[in-house]
Structure 1
Amino acid sequence: MPINQATNTPVDVPRGLAGVVVTDTELGDVRGLEGFYHYRQYSAVELARSRGFEDVWHLMVHGELPDAGQRAAFAGRTAELRRLPDDVRAALPAIAEATGHSGPLAGLRTALSLLGASLEFRPLYDIDAGLRRADALAACAAVPTLLTALYRLGQGLEPVEPREDLAYAANYLYMLTGSEPDVACARAIEQYLISTIDHGFNASTFTARVIASTGADVAACLVGAVGALSGPLHGGAPSRALDTLDAIGTPDRIDPWIRERVLAGGRIMGFGHPVYRTADPRSRMLRDIARQFGGPMVDFAVEVERQVEQILAELKPGRELHTNVEFYAGVVMELCGLPREMFTPTFAAARVVGWSGNILEQAEDSKIIRPAARYVGPGAPVAVPHLA
């Protein structure tokens, strides 16, 4: 538990630090009661609908949306950083083989550590803001290249080298598939990526900031964040939400399947959020994108959403439980041809930008994050028994 600095006594806080304010930030906020979130002063959903990924990346790193000249310069600079150092590229087959059963996200942890060493990232504590920003940009630009290469190697395919003439999302899809993506799919994935860049002090973002508060290098901070994101209660839900649609199968099975699951105390993946008490704005936006594609899968997802919310309102009265970002994220990524094992890695390809913004902001504060815990074990001290 935290310590009251004035009295040097512990202060009780909610489990999971729910609602506890631990620092100030200029990067954005989530207003759960309103169903609204923003990046700096702009609605995140509006940014996803009207701007490109590089624009929002520039906003998170430099504090402002770029003009046309700044956009071109920033896009060109980050595109140049997509290519991996030779020693990192050479190590990827071994990493992919060693982590094959766990997937590209597990491999990313190792690859990021190697990238930081290869590029000679130094501790945040020892470098100025300019060098910190340069390290963060290099790491962010390399993450899609690492993820897609690890995936393809795991499938027995050769990695696809990045193209500097493609935007961030289009290049990601190109490196994943080896083909230039359909314009509509590239834009849909770009909007998804923008919508998930940052989202308050979620578990992975807070992890990145805790590590940054120690003065560690950018790669170390990102590796910790990736580890947090890999948990099924955080970033692992998009494919699981789609698995729910598969398990239900047909419209006539929605009601009995959901009722049985809820009454047994099970969780419906893709529904509910620890912050939002109304509809998740990211889910609403992604539902609109899915409807633009149309088709039986989208119609089924919309019907599942309708019935699940109705059943949850009946069985859990007084609780607002709606679809979260993972539900329609899975639908959109499936429609655009992404393999399910790349759903959470794709989430990481977006969130790395938000992590980096938080790392850079935390690096400006020299105070280490060091909370306390309440000891509830056996009374101490007890005499240590002697060996017979």
Structure 2
Amino acid sequence: MRQDYRQYSAVELAQTRGFEDVWHLLAYGELPDAEQSAAFAAETAALRLLPDEVRAALPAVAAASGTSGSLSGPLSGMRTALSLLGAAKGFRPVYDIDTDARRRDALVASAAVPTLLTALYRLGRGLDPVEPRDDLSYAANYLYMLTGSEPDKQQARAIEQYLISTIDHGFNASTFTARVIASTGADVAACLVGAVGALSGPLHGGAPSRALDTLDAIGTPDRIDPWIRARVLAGDRIMGFGHAIYRTEDPRSRMLREVAQQFGGPRVEFAVEVERRVETILAELKPGRELHTNVEFYAGLVMELCGLPREMFTPTFAAARVVGWSANVVEQAEDSKIIRPVARYVGVGAPVAVPLMS
């Protein structure tokens, strides 16, 4: 099974194109030529700066959201910050504006997300935010704002490939949430805030750091087999393995494994061996039940190799997925019909008269 963005393979795009080109594909429906690519990169880079009202509020948002030491702090803070951004930028309900205006709001919000996330992370640690640079790519600028140092080319490209591989992925929980809100005609910021709320759940966006927890829990190569056997026999979930959709190897995981192997080192070799032994032991103990690494397993490893702290793994995922959410919001807004599922009542008895109070 392959993952596509419109008519192109997501993995092939990650291997051959930059993040801004894939963003253009989702926003406008086509890959840009060289001239369009440069223009789009310049346009979105200019949108990275935050309005003064939002910048002034971020220290309080960071403090209130418990950013420091929290796996979800920057993401929690971003819910508030996105609402402020939408108000400061005058976002209007998508129901009341045309496609160009919706797309413009989506670009403004998506370009601002890395700035918001990195500022909230740094403020939560008593550090000043790092202002964005318009001469760096989306991925390189994200790492720069996070660390205060310009990343080397290998790190920037590795993160870029990870970001591209996770821009969109069908009607996952957060994307579906964004589309439901868009169907009500709400503004782009409201749609994205809802999506962030869905992503903040540990069953959706929290897996990359938890996959690394698996490697830490195993610890050394001699503990791989007994640790895995104990978990499989107990029926426990092994984080970083299995997917709600894929029943074969996740093609994005295969690509990110290759990215990690370009860095090399004992940590990467250990992860590859854990993957191999999980599949082998599962085949032995649970024949017929295939379980392969999902995108989070090697995503966590790649982000660790590039110097990202674990509390920024899920926010980094959001820095990619916001582009996919936005494309879905713009698309959903073209249909003015609200998404309103019908519920089937399964409670006790048929309707009866309300008894009189005795």
Class of the TM-score when normalised by the shorter of the 2 chains: over 0.9
- Which of 135, 160, 163 aligns to 1:190? It is 160
Task: Determine the C-alpha separation between the residues in 2 that align with 1:311 and 1:227.
Answer: 36
User: In the TM superposition, what whole-angstrom CA distance separates every residue of 1:74-100 from its partner, at most 9, and x where no partner exists?
Assistant: 111100100000000111011100111
The DSSP-based 3-state class of the residue aligned with 2:4 is strand
Q: RMSD of aligned C-alpha atoms?
A: 1.1
- Which of 160, 181, 184 aligns to 1:211? It is 181
The DSSP-based 3-state class of the residue aligned with 2:3 is strand
Task: Determine the C-alpha separation between the residues in 2 that align with 1:279 and 1:120.
Answer: 44
User: In the TM superposition, what whole-angstrom CA distance separates every residue of 1:75-133 from its partner, at most 9, and x where no partner exists?
Assistant: 11100100000000111011100111441011111111111111110000000001000
Task: Determine the C-alpha separation between the residues in 1 that align with 2:58 and 2:284.
Answer: 50
- Which of 367, 372, 379 aligns to 2:349? It is 379
The DSSP-based 3-state class of the residue aligned with 1:36 is coil
- 1:192 maps to amino acid: Y
Task: Determine the C-alpha separation between the residues in 1 that align with 2:341 and 2:284.
Answer: 40
Q: Which residue number corresponds to residue 148 of structure 1?
A: 118
Q: Which residue number corresponds to residue 77 of structure 2?
A: 107
Task: Determine the C-alpha separation between the residues in 1 that align with 2:230 and 2:184.
Answer: 47
Task: Determine the C-alpha separation between the residues in 2 that align with 1:338 and 1:268.
Answer: 23
Q: Which residue number corresponds to residue 87 of structure 1?
A: 53
Written as runs of structure 1 = structure 2, the 5 A alignment for 1:164-179 is: 164-179=134-149
- Which of 69, 81, 84 aligns to 2:35? It is 69
> Offset of 1:380 from its aligned partner?
4.1
The DSSP-based 3-state class of the residue aligned with 2:186 is coil
Report the count of equivalent residues: 354
Task: Determine the C-alpha separation between the residues in 2 that align with 1:316 and 1:207.
Answer: 35
User: In the TM superposition, what whole-angstrom CA distance separates every residue of 1:129-185 from its partner, at most 9, and x where no partner exists?
Assistant: 010000000000000000000000111111000000000000000000000011100
Q: Is there any run of 5+ residues in structure 1 with no aligned partner, and where?
A: 1-34
Alignment of 1:117 with 2:83, yes or no, is no
Task: Determine the C-alpha separation between the residues in 1 that align with 2:286 and 2:183.
Answer: 40
> Offset of 1:263 from its aligned partner?
1.8
Alignment of 1:163 with 2:129, yes or no, is no
Alignment of 1:41 with 2:7, yes or no, is yes
Task: Determine the C-alpha separation between the residues in 1 that align with 2:227 and 2:347.
Answer: 42
Task: Determine the C-alpha separation between the residues in 1 that align with 2:93 and 2:199.
Answer: 23
Alignment of 1:267 with 2:267, yes or no, is no
> Offset of 1:274 from its aligned partner?
1.0
Task: Determine the C-alpha separation between the residues in 2 that align with 1:381 and 1:262.
Answer: 47
Deviates more, 1:317-326 or 1:85-94: 317-326
Task: Determine the C-alpha separation between the residues in 1 that align with 2:53 and 2:354.
Answer: 51
Deviates more, 1:376-385 or 1:113-122: 376-385
- Which of 243, 253, 267 aligns to 1:297? It is 267
Q: Which has the higher helix share?
A: 2
Normalised by the size of structure 2, how large is the TM-score? 0.97
Normalised by the size of structure 1, how large is the TM-score? 0.89
